[in-house]
């Protein structure tokens, strides 16, 4: 496939409006999608920036770039084709930008990008220590969160970084991820939006916020941490807005 280069003097980039306006996509999803659009040829809508380039332009780690690209591919917003040079070594992937399918949304049904779909449970249950329960109307307990949603959160916050550098806090982070899943399940749009923007820096800030906290006298520590995290996200958003 012959791909012409985008005119570097062109000051604007064509981006699918539905992607930008979608409330279920994270900031990283949208930024990396926009970066791929910026590199894409206007006719073929294809480009081939390296993961390192994508990460540098986004301001994130290479691991995060790989994770987000995989997520965009899973959502059908891009097609990825692996490429090799003449001697068989891997080179930059070829990406083709795809429009968002909004037909289901327009018909009043849930689309492939619906909030519920993003947290779709898999058949394999997550380990018991990460499994959170939700009371049903009949008073019984059922497994609500599965490994797929939990693993996606781990990718979102770059869990491996904490596992390597803060192994003594992994237990707390595991619990925090569970509370994040509970907050998302509660369905408040403002909280879901804030949760979509949680990354490693947010987790690190909250760890510092909770350092030295005295839980003596707290009857339900889990509920306290979950509430504290939701309040922390709201306060952080207000603070960030004042700095802009």
Q: Are residues 129 and 212 in the same domain?
A: yes
Task: Please identify, among 38, 62, 97, the residue that sits at the C-terminal boundary of a domain.
Answer: 97
Nearest to 201 by CA among 12, 36, 61, 56: 61
Q: Structural domain tally of the chain? A: 2
8 Å CB contact between 78 and 95: yes
pLDDT for position 36: 93
Q: What is the CATH number of the domain that holds 33?
A: 1.10.10.10
Residue where one domain finishes, among candidates 69, 97, 125? 97
Q: Are residues 155 and 193 in the same domain?
A: yes
Is residue 43, in this structure, part of any structural domain at all?
A: yes
DSSP string, 65-125: HHHHHHHHHHTTSEEEEEEE-TTS-EEEEEEEE-----HHHHTTS--TT-HHHHT---SSP
Q: Quick one: DSSP state of residue 25? A: S
Q: Is residue 42 part of a domain?
A: yes
User: Considering just the CA atoms, what is the radius of gyration of the chain in Å?
Assistant: 20
Domain shared by 47 and 127, yes or no: no
**Could you tell me if 76 and 147 lie in one domain?**
no
Residues 77 and 180 in one domain: no
pLDDT at residue 88, as a whole number:
67
pLDDT (tens, 9 = 90+) of the chain, 244 residues, equals 444 444 445 677 888 888 988 888 888 899 999 999 998 888 888 998 989 999 999 888 888 899 999 999 998 999 998 877 777 676 778 999 988 875 534 433 334 334 433 333 333 333 343 334 433 333 333 344 457 888 889 999 999 888 888 888 888 888 899 899 989 888 788 899 999 999 998 998 898 888 877 777 778 888 889 999 999 999 988 887 777 5
Rounded distance, CA 93 to CA 52, Å? 12
Q: Given this model, what pLDDT does residue 102 score?
A: 59
Q: Which helix (H) or strand (E) holds 47?
A: strand 46-47
Residue 224 lies in a domain: yes
Report the C-alpha gap between 92 and 84 in whole angstroms: 8
Query: What local confidence, expressed as pLDDT, does residue 9 receive?
Result: 53
Other C-beta atoms lying within 10 Å of the C-beta of residue 29: 20
Assigned domain for 56 exists: yes
**pTM attached to this predicted model:** 0.42
Domain range for 150 is 114-243
How long a stretch of residues is the chain?
244
How far apart CA 150 and CA 86 sit, in angstroms, is 40
């Amino acid at each position: 496939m012959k791909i012409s280069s985008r005119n570097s003097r062109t000051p604007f980039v064509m981006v699918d409006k539905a992607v930008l306006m979608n409330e279920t996509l994270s900031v990283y999803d949208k930024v990396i999608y926009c970066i791929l659009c910026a590199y894409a040829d206007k006719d073929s809508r294809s480009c081939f920036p390296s993961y390192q380039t994508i990460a540098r332009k986004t301001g994130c780690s290479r691991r995060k770039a790989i994770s987000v690209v995989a997520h965009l591919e899973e959502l059908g917003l891009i097609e990825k084709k692996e490429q090799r040079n003449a001697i068989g070594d891997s080179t930059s992937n070829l990406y083709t930008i795809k429009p968002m399918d909004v037909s289901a949304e327009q018909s009043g049904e849930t689309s492939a990008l619906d909030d519920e779909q993003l947290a779709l449970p898999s058949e394999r249950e997550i380990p018991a220590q990460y499994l959170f329960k939700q009371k049903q109307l009949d008073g019984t307990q059922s497994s609500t969160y599965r490994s797929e949603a939990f693993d996606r959160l781990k990718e979102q916050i770059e869990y491996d970084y904490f596992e390597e550098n803060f192994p003594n806090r992994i237990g707390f982070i595991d619990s925090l991820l569970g509370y994040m899943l509970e907050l998302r399940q509660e369905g408040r749009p403002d909280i879901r939006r804030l949760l979509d923007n949680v990354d490693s820096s947010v987790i690190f800030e909250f760890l510092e916020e909770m350092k030295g906290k005295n839980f003596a006298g707290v009857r339900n520590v889990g509920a306290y941490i979950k509430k504290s995290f939701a309040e922390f996200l709201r306060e952080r958003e207000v603070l960030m807005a004042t700095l802009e």
